[in-house]
């Protein structure tokens, strides 16, 4: 259902000829991938639920109170990074970088609009 958006996004920096050829090839690749990976409407729904669960878990991890009032913060506010704990600020880690890199295409933050093609609302 999102084929046009994906094709536009993946061929946004291509010439017209490359874009047209890519669209033709992408349809065949999509069919082959669905078959090889056994993707069905039911498995897609399950994957969407799992994806939303991951975003919920990360959101909850970042909204836990930080600090304990004993010199390690004041017990208020939210965590800045995924691996921070109530008592220790670990800082920016590979977990933060990995999550951000993998989530960016899904979130499509406006701050990165110059690096991504713009689409009509669909």
d(CA 55, CA 15): 36
Q: Is the pTM of this model over 0.75?
A: no
Give pLDDT tens digits for 13-51. Answer: 888 898 888 888 888 888 899 999 999 999 999 999 999
* Other CB atoms within 10 A of residue 66 CB: 20
pLDDT at 11: 83
In 37-118, alpha helices (H): 41-62, 94-107
């Amino acid at each position: 259902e999102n084929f046009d958006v994906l094709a536009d996004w993946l061929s946004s920096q291509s010439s017209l000829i490359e874009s047209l050829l890519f669209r033709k090839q992408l349809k065949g690749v999509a069919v082959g991938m669905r078959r090889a990976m056994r993707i069905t409407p039911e498995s897609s729904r399950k994957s969407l639920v799992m994806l939303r669960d991951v975003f919920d878990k990360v959101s909850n991890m970042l909204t836990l109170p930080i600090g304990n009032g004993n010199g390690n913060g004041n017990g208020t506010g939210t965590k800045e990074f995924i691996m921070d704990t109530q008592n220790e600020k670990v800082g920016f880690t590979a977990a933060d970088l990995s999550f951000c890199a993998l989530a960016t295409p899904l979130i499509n933050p406006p701050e990165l609009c110059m690096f991504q093609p713009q689409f009509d609302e669909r």
